[in-house]
Chain A
Amino acid sequence: MKKIINGRQLIKIGILILIMNICAFIISFHYSLLRSFNIILGSFFVFWLPGFCLTYIFFSCISSNKSEHEQGKEDQSLNWVERALLAPFLSITLLVFELTVIKTFNIKLGSFSAVLVLLFVNQAVILFALFIYKFNQRNKLN
């Protein structure tokens, strides 16, 4: 049976969870632990995850049989570190566009409706990126 997550990916996820835990721990000096995790997870969902997914829509992956140096000379692909680095910028870009659209419809920023729109658009981006990723993987296998 094919493994869903390999060892390397597990390490990456572990690093991510560790960073989030450290941030939550720092914030917990001011807020309760539950509120701290709430803030960190919410920030992760708004300031990082959508951008990370967007990189899969706009950039291809670096193939493992070529070095980054060789591949970089030829195309504009990204490895996972570069995706992680670029993610917050694309997330903030998306956030500003979302909020501009919200303003266009005269919805009060920070209201429940505005939060719903943010949630919906971010989820749509994540699902679309997942679809693109799967589609590309299938094309590669074929």
Chain B
Amino acid sequence: MNLNFKKYFQHPALIYIIYIIFIILCSPSGFSWLNKIIFSLCALVPFWIVREKLLNYKKANILPINLSKYNKYFVALLCFALFFFIASKIFLFIKYGIAPLGYDTGFYLRGVSAMGLATTKLNAVNAYYFIFTPLLSLGMEPLIAFYSICIFSQFLTLIALCFLLKTFRSPTSFNLAIIAIFLYAMSSVQFLGYWNVFGQQLLAMPFLLISVALLMRRSVLAIFTAGITFLLHTATAGVLFLGIAIYYIIYFFQLFSKNRYCYKSHFSIVIIGIVLAVPFYILKSITFKGQLDYIIHFGGLLKNVPFWQIPELSGFFIGIQQFNILTLFIIPLALTTLLNPAVWLREKVNKSFFFNSLLINYVFLALLAILALSPVIYQTRFNLMLDLFLIIFATPTILILIEYFIKDKTGRLILLAMIFLFTVNFCLIANKQQPLISKSELQEIKSLASKVESNAKIMTTSSTYTPWLYGFYGREVIAPGRLGDTWELETWKEFWFGDSDKKRLELLKTRPMPLYVYIGEKELDGNPYQNFVNNDPHFENITEHLWKFKQEL
């Protein structure tokens, strides 16, 4: 680590300039230059406080951390964060009933319900559905089991964050873990991920974090948890393997330098990892090949994807602009830690700590930032993982700020105001999330199975209703562009917006019978196909939103 540029890098003025440049680059693109300057000046405050603190530590040459007398405040913060975390996950169910979460609920519900049928092939293992087996065996209903695992995966992420922060072996690891819990509970990005029910990714992310933590501990178990990440969610596993590969390339590269850092256990991890990669690959070979072919087909870039598939293949999540605004508080704090690695241990970073603990986290932060900014397939989903690493990096800086402010009454009031701000910000965003389907309509969909023939197919005219019908109707569904639909986009356009009802009739006759058409309440009124279904004698109204199509009059 005795590189020449280091002494220039540590020059007080230069590090402030680098920080300001980073802050300006990371500020939302919608900000005017004046706002960017104001934001940078505000962001300078925590950076200055941390630098001052570190300078004092250096002069005193001790570890002046005596947070134990403030432990009661940290315990109170932990209780508040945990209560808030649980409440934020449950209040949606209390407020909106059994389907308050996002689009994918129905797809997952169908998958969980089909688990008992055990149709999975051995080389197309989806570990996500395996996890439901014990719950279903214990007598849980599929929907309750699915929601339980969703909430459980949120807890697992919380636990993984704590474990990762404890792995840094900082003298303040207890306090760091509490702050991480608080930040995670207040993270709007994570809440939106939960609301969108990205089930597999939500469960794979804690496995990514725990694999990183186990690698930091040089444990062979990291290979198994990384393998489970692969079986759970390919994109998360892709990030994990890429990150590990970059880490080991840097690690092996430095072995050729004079002041090398060497730990034999790293070699054994790499060798065992390569050997065990084969059985893990075999377990998911069919699914993985399919996904890989799909990505290769589009060159991995969103610009090559047809426009109607872009929302789906970009990951159906918030874009980088919104992410930037939602993480506005965290970014300066994370950047402060990034540029002041001494905040972790409150002492000079030695080679062992750098290569064991810091480097791998730096690699993942940089990798995820690049992926979130690049127009690659699944781009928006990387935001969810990036947010976790921003939380990890923001934590030690926040602890120093707490140490700085907690000593007097005014400082404590400032801290309370900050907690209040975080909470209000989160509540405003969480409260905006409305269910995608009303209670009455969901009830109607659940009752459809008893109102139609057992071999009937229900065709939804809007993709909004695809997952709800697929999950809650539970039988064969025809949907635009999904579930093996045979119509091209042009055919659908002809059906939705075409002038000829005769053509619509012909198109419907190509579908397998008996056929029902579902037009939900969220579809805008006055479309030609709606008038056709409402007025044509070939349709018989069964329920408020369901029509039976009769081939012959």
- Interface set of A (CB-CB < 8 Å, partner B): 30-31, 35, 38-39, 42-43, 46-47, 58-59, 68-69, 72-73, 76, 81-82, 85-86, 88-90, 92-93, 95-96, 99-100, 103-104, 108-110, 114-115, 118
Given contacts A58-B220, A100-B122, 18 further A-B contacts (CB under 8 A): A30-B144, A39-B139, A39-B140, A47-B134, A73-B169, A76-B217, A85-B163, A88-B159, A89-B156, A92-B228, A93-B227, A95-B133, A95-B134, A103-B122, A109-B130, A110-B137, A115-B134, A115-B137
Counting CB contacts under 8 A, is B372 at the interface?
A: no
| Closest Cβ–Cβ distance, residue A82 to chain B (whole Å) | 6
Given the contacts A68-B169, A85-B159, A110 and B144 also touching, CB distance less than 8 Å = no
How many residues of B are counted as interface, with CB atoms below 8 angstroms from the partner's CB atoms? 44
B36 within 8 A of A: no
Question: What residues of chain A lie closer than 8 Å to B301, measured between beta carbons?
Answer: none
Known: A39-B135, A43-B138, A110-B133. A68 touches B228 (CB 8 A): no
Residue among A68, A90, A109 having the largest count of chain B Cβ atoms under 10 Å: A109
**Which B residues are in CB contact (< 8 Å) with A59?**
219
Tell me whether A38 and B139 are in contact in the complex, defined as CB-CB below 8 angstroms, given that A85-B159, A88-B159, A100-B283 are known contacts: yes
Could you tell me if B138 and A110 are in contact, using CB atoms closer than 8 angstroms? no
The 3 closest A-B pairs by CB, nearest first: A72-B169, A85-B163, A46-B134
- Complex CA gap A96/B169 in Å reads 30
Per-residue interface assignment for chain B, residues 283 to 300, with 1 indicating a CB less than 8 Å from any chain A CB and 0 otherwise: 100000000000000000
B209-220 near A? 1/0 per residue, CB < 8 Å:
010000001111
Whole-angstrom distance between the alpha carbons of A59 and B127 in the complex? 26
A108 engages B139 (CB within 8 Å): no
Query: Does the CB pair B130–A96 fall under 8 Å?
Result: yes
Residues from chain A with a CB closer than 8 A to the CB of B116 are 108-110
Which residues on the B side are within 8 Å of A82 (C-beta)? Answer: 163, 166
CB distance from B128 to the nearest CB of A (A): 10
Q: Is the CB of A68 within 8 A of B173?
A: yes
CB atoms of A99 and B163 under 8 A apart: no
Mask, B111-147, CB within 8 Å of A = 1, is: 0000110101010010100110111111110001000
A86 to B166 Cα, complex, angstroms: 11
10 A-B pairs within 8 Å (CB atoms) are namely A38-B138, A58-B219, A68-B173, A73-B169, A85-B162, A92-B131, A99-B133, A108-B116, A110-B137, A114-B137
Among residues of B, the one whose C-beta sits closest to the C-beta of A115 is B137
CA gap between A89 and B160 in the complex, in Å:
9
Q: Does B206 contact A (CB under 8 A)?
A: yes
**Nearest-neighbor residue (CB-CB) of A99 within chain B:** B130
Answer yes or no: B101 CB below 8 A from chain A CBs. Answer: no
Q: Is the CB of B221 within 8 A of A90?
A: yes
* B residues with CB within 8 A of A: 115-116, 118, 120, 122, 125, 127, 130-131, 133-140, 144, 152, 156, 159-160, 162-163, 166, 169-171, 173, 206-207, 210, 217-221, 224-225, 227-228, 231, 283, 352
Instruction: Assess whether A76 is in contact with B218, with CB atoms less than 8 Å apart.
Output: yes
With A39-B140, A76-B218 as known contacts, state yes or no: A93 contacts B130, CB within 8 Å. Answer: no
C-alpha gap A99/B132 in the complex (Å): 11
Which chain B residue shows the least CB distance to A104?
B122
Q: Are B134 and A118 in contact (CB under 8 A)?
A: yes
Residue in A89, A104, A114 whose CB lies within 8 Å of B133 = A114
| Chain A contacts for B131, CB-based, 8 A | 92, 95-96
Q: Which B residues touch A90, using CB under 8 A?
A: 221
Residues in B whose Cβ lies below 8 Å from that of A81? 166
Residues of B within 8 A of A92 (CB): 131, 207, 228
The one of A58, A69, A109, A114 in contact with B221, judged by C-beta atoms closer than 8 angstroms, is: A58
Q: What chain A residues lie within 8 Å of B144 (beta carbons)?
A: 30
List the A residue with the shortest CB-CB distance to B217.
A76
Q: Is the CB of A100 within 8 A of B221?
A: no
A42–B127 Cα distance when bound, in Å, is 19
Residues of B within 8 A of A110 (CB): 115-116, 118, 133, 136-137
Alpha-carbon distance A73/B263, docked complex (angstroms): 13
A35 to B135 alpha-carbon distance, docked (Å)? 12
CB nearest to B283 among chain A residues: A100
Whether the pair A69, B171 counts as a contact (CB closer than 8 A) is yes
Chain A nearest CB from B273 CB (Å) reads: 15
Q: Taking A95-B130, A109-B118, A109-B130 as contacts, is the C-beta distance between A69 and B283 under 8 angstroms?
A: no
A100 to B136, CA, bound (A): 17
Q: A76-B219, A89-B207 are in contact. Are A42 and B134 (CB under 8 A)?
A: yes
Within 8 Å by CB of A96, from B120, B159, B217, B231, lies B231
- C-alpha gap A15/B206 in the complex (Å): 24
Please name all residues of chain B whose beta carbon is closer than 8 Å to the beta carbon of A118 when the two chains form the complex.
Answer: 134
